[in-house]
Structure 1
Amino acid sequence: MTKMNLTHFEAAFLFALLASVVLGIVTKNNDRERLRYGAYCFAYFLVALFGIAWVMKLGHG
């Protein structure tokens, strides 16, 4: 079995993508709402990812 070597950013990006897809599918009723909500969640995941990374960078000096 091959081993996947992902950086922290790649793993977080992949998690954001998959979680957004799942949230879009299970929470909305039609395809347009699903796509829109999935994109909305994905954008907020990425904003949180970069925001937390920025705060951690400031904390380390």
Structure 2
Amino acid sequence: MLNLRVDNLAAMLQAFDRSGIPYQTNPDWDDPAYGQFARLHDSEGNPIELWHPPTAADR
């Protein structure tokens, strides 16, 4: 799995929604100590995980 750090996961997911790009989220993946996560797959089916690390306000 390729893991990419993103600055604004919510904005990225909104862009995916507008473009029709499927992705997965799960509240069980998110943790204030570790951040928020979403997953999608590339055209060959390889998993890609997007990670938005927690901010000081989240801790």
Q: Which has the higher helix share?
A: 1
Q: Same fold judged by TM-score > 0.5?
A: no
> What's the TM-score once normalised by structure 1's chain length?
0.25
> What's the TM-score once normalised by structure 2's chain length?
0.26
**Structure with more relative contact order (C-alpha pairs < 8 Å, separation 6 or more):** 2
Q: Which has the higher strand share?
A: 2
